[in-house]
Structure 1
Amino acid sequence: EEPVLLAELKPGRPQRYDWKSSCETWSVAFSPDGAWFAWSQGHCVVKLIPWPLGETELGCKTLERKSRGGKAESRSRGAAKEKTLECGQIVWGLAFSAWPAAEDGDTDPACAVGLPCLVLATGLNDGQIKVWEVQTGHLLFSLLGHQDVVRDLSFAPNGSPILVSASRDKTLRVWDLSRDGQQVQVLSGHVQWVYCCSISPDCSMLCSAAGEKSALLWSMRSYTLIRRLEGHQSSVVSCDFSPDSALLVTASYDACVIMWDPYTGEQLRTLRHVPLHSALDSSSEIHTSSLRSVCFSPEGLYLATVADDRLLRIWALELRSPVAFAPMTNGLCCMYFPHGGFIATGTRDGHVQFWTAPRVLSSLKHLCRRALRTFLTTYQVLALPIPRKLKEFLTYRTF
């Protein structure tokens, strides 16, 4: 089943701006509970939109039904309203996190007692990171330290207030928002711009991708380099961990996605992006399949990729060829809805598109594997007194 375009959001065009410059949507993000959507719509502006979309933005009831059907029960957010965050600089990176719950008696106005406050971090063109409280739109912190564009951001998935930033100044920086945004660590090791950073769901590892032919894997406990993942033939620009932390994927300008075992550094498979000539016109140049973004689906059975050949591809984990394609122009980024069912993509034109994605019922085998791999490393699995074929399945050598 091919992805269907459900909706497209387009920014307004204020007269005071030169519309042809700085209009790219470099990042899109859903909050972990699926209640908010954020997009950098160009011209130094981030839009915060309550989810699901209203019919005025949507123009299609299908998406609203799908998102409500997959949305987890959450506490009432009241009458949440769309917000515009004026960041003052071009916005490159976005990341949501759940703020730690306030203690009884805490008078901090940013957080209601007993309710987690959702925050959004924005990475800016001048090296600043601005952190906003989503419900109010108030600026909480301005984090200073980077000397160039903050290209990507990643919060610790366990809800802790640890934020990692990736920058064109060739460093990653670790920030602790529970200590007023104090800088905890500077990670140096890249020799080119750092494009992407991703913290594993178990919060043990950090992967970073730069304009190099390798990705770096770091320990989130000691903030030291674990290993360099080498195998690409061009710049690595995007990376993501599987929901159980057992797999890592990296995407490169060499038109390939490599699936790794992050614990051993072993390459498990390579997904090659072969251009579909029907999707290209005669003016297309070389590097038409250069990858821009890769992300795992929430259940860990699919990947989505955006490439310069004007295609969104969806891959099944066990196959080496895409299971679905969708035509899209000037794609830059992609992200799955946290509860599955659709994908958001951002473009160079400042637009956001929402596409249907396969909804699958995970097999009992996969659910068991995912549960085990959430707390067992590859080495621990290999040490278990179980049959070899079962070890191969649990370590994703077979599917």
Structure 2
Amino acid sequence: MCSSEEKIGQRPTSPEQLLMELRSAHAPSLHGRAGCETWSVDFSPDGEWFAWSMGHGIVWLVAWPLDADKKGRDRPDKTITCGQTVWGLAFGPRPPSAASSKANAAPNERLSSLLLATGLDNGVIMIWSVATGCHLYDLKGHDGIARELVFPPNGKLTLISSSRDKTLRIWDLNHKGKKVHVLSGHKDWISSCCVSPDCSMIASVGRFDRMVCLWSLRSYTFIRTLSVFFKTFFLLVSCDFSPDGALLATAAFGGASWWIDLWDPYTGEKLASLVDDCIHGQNQISALQFSPDGLHLAVVTDRAVCVWELGQEDMLLNTKGQHATNGLCCRFHPQGGVVAMGTRDGHVRFWKVPLKVPSLVHLCRSALRFSVSTQQVQALPIPRRILDFLTYRNIPNVFNEPTWDS
């Protein structure tokens, strides 16, 4: 492998939104071949590390921010060799006891419990120590590709994985995965899964069975399937909860059209469908994610990275025509302002997203909806206008529904 400085591209002069590009250091003979894709990227919960599956079984751990002048002083980069194509990766939480056991612990000691999980082509999930870069143990049980990995945001050592074997698995890492719950119900590949911010629900989307399923993370039981019916064949590819848990976004495509649906996960009601020329008629849509403040939604396609502000017609970011994309995955930095995108050719691009100060009413809604369900809000004796705002029923119809008969 080449040094990290050789992997980091120079800061571009245009377009202004492109902050930096990382290129893999594989031999030229491997470029463009199957296995070079960047299927997954992730930031650590504190935003101090970035992980990148650079293709051909290699994961690169790099300290954030990506400043070549400071890199390697106290947090050297680490290269992890997994031996199989890495389809999914996720940083694990620090156990609650880590911060309280030693109040005056050194930074290296406080970081010692940060984990990285990598999902492989053979279904094995490998668990790594971020502090040392050492392999700790394997989680075995999936019979197909371990596609998406998610650690709940509650700090517990629990890992949720989705697979092409049509199942979701919930692993207890306190017992090194020996205690596991299996969720079955999809009829084909599971493309993506996500966990609600209050850690009460898991959402999963089936690529070919066209199912959006909700599961209880508390009782490990099925809750409901969202009614996704269209007049044409389509594939579901991605999903994400808003930071307050009141919205679930799903991405799908069918024929020559792409769209993003916004759902109320508590009632199963579809609130809006987002369609725009930025993604209409393209060949591939791969991922979406809400920004940490819940104001924006990033969408990655093979031709553009688009960032919308919900309820607004104009985009904060639209890279169409500025740079070849070939996007496969995306991830916001935990503090916002930057979205990382992995590409089919094994690169990572970091795009600047304009920061916006959330309004007081948005912050109040987010704080309330984090712990109050839609049914509980609807039972409140409040004016209809406030009720619609709190339940996101007031999203303006600035994105027209597609005409499926055309």
TM-score by length of 1: 0.86
Match of 2:401 in 1: none
**Alpha-carbon shift at residue 169 of structure 1 (Å):** 0.6
Report the Cα distance in structure 1 between the residues aligned to 2:393 and 2:347, rounded to whole angstroms.
39
Match of 2:62 in 1: 49
Deviations 1:34-73 (A, max 9, x none): 0000010001000000001123699xxxxxxxxxxxxxxx
3-state secondary structure, aligned to 2:92: strand
1:80 has 2:75 as partner? yes
- Report the identity percentage: 49
3-state secondary structure, aligned to 1:253: strand
Report the Cα distance in structure 2 between the residues aligned to 1:311 and 1:14, rounded to whole angstroms.
27
**Alpha-carbon shift at residue 235 of structure 1 (Å):** 1.4
Report the residue type matching 2:227 in the other structure. Answer: E
Q: Cα 1:94–1:57, aligned 2, differ >3 Å: closer, same or farther?
A: farther
Match of 2:224 in 1: 227
Deviations 1:356-385 (A, max 9, x none): 102000000000000101110001111112
1:288 has 2:282 as partner? yes
Report the residue type matching 1:196 in the other structure. Answer: S
Report the residue type matching 2:319 in the other structure. Answer: A
Contact 2:21–2:348 at 8 Å: present in 1 too?
yes
Match of 1:265 in 2: 268
Report 1:1-399 matches (<5 A).
4-14=17-27, 17=30, 20-55=33-68, 79-102=74-97, 117-211=113-207, 212-231=209-228, 233=230, 234-254=234-254, 255-275=258-278, 288-308=282-302, 310-319=303-312, 322-327=315-320, 328-398=324-394
Contact 1:213–1:231 at 8 Å: present in 2 too?
yes
**Alpha-carbon shift at residue 319 of structure 1 (Å):** 2.9
Report the Cα distance in structure 2 between the residues aligned to 1:50 and 1:351, rounded to whole angstroms.
17
Q: Cα 1:340–1:276, aligned 2, differ >3 Å: closer, same or farther?
A: closer
Report the Cα distance in structure 2 between the residues aligned to 1:397 and 1:354, rounded to whole angstroms.
33
Contact 1:42–1:90 at 8 Å: present in 2 too?
yes
Report the residue type matching 1:334 in the other structure. Answer: C
Report the residue type matching 1:222 in the other structure. Answer: S
Deviations 1:262-295 (A, max 9, x none): 0001111001143579xxxxxxxxx625321000
Report the Cα distance in structure 1 between the residues aligned to 2:55 and 2:45, rounded to whole angstroms.
23
**Alpha-carbon shift at residue 230 of structure 1 (Å):** 2.4
Report the Cα distance in structure 1 between the residues aligned to 2:38 and 2:108, rounded to whole angstroms.
32
- Taking only aligned residues, the RMSD between alpha carbons, in angstroms, comes to 2.4
Q: Cα 1:113–1:57, aligned 2, differ >3 Å: closer, same or farther?
A: closer
Deviations 1:329-359 (A, max 9, x none): 2111111111011110000100000001020
**Alpha-carbon shift at residue 232 of structure 1 (Å):** 5.6
3-state secondary structure, aligned to 2:42: strand
Contact 2:331–2:340 at 8 Å: present in 1 too?
yes
Q: Cα 1:39–1:113, aligned 2, differ >3 Å: closer, same or farther?
A: closer
Match of 1:281 in 2: none
Report the residue type matching 1:247 in the other structure. Answer: L
3-state secondary structure, aligned to 2:365: helix
Contact 1:238–1:252 at 8 Å: present in 2 too?
yes
Report the Cα distance in structure 2 between the residues aligned to 1:132 and 1:114, rounded to whole angstroms.
16
Contact 1:152–1:167 at 8 Å: present in 2 too?
yes
Report the Cα distance in structure 2 between the residues aligned to 1:335 and 1:127, rounded to whole angstroms.
23
Report the residue type matching 1:213 in the other structure. Answer: R
Contact 1:101–1:115 at 8 Å: present in 2 too?
no
3-state secondary structure, aligned to 1:185: strand
Q: Cα 1:114–1:33, aligned 2, differ >3 Å: closer, same or farther?
A: closer
Q: Cα 1:21–1:209, aligned 2, differ >3 Å: closer, same or farther?
A: same
Match of 2:5 in 1: none
Contact 2:250–2:260 at 8 Å: present in 1 too?
yes
Report the residue type matching 1:85 in the other structure. Answer: I
Report the Cα distance in structure 2 between the residues aligned to 1:364 and 1:250, rounded to whole angstroms.
27
3-state secondary structure, aligned to 1:98: coil
**Alpha-carbon shift at residue 105 of structure 1 (Å):** 8.0
Q: Cα 1:165–1:373, aligned 2, differ >3 Å: closer, same or farther?
A: same
Report the residue type matching 2:26 in the other structure. Answer: R
Match of 1:73 in 2: none
Report the Cα distance in structure 1 between the residues aligned to 2:97 and 2:160, rounded to whole angstroms.
23
Deviates more, 1:146-155 or 1:96-105: 96-105
Deviates more, 1:151-160 or 1:17-26: 17-26
3-state secondary structure, aligned to 1:346: strand
Report the Cα distance in structure 2 between the residues aligned to 1:303 and 1:289, rounded to whole angstroms.
20
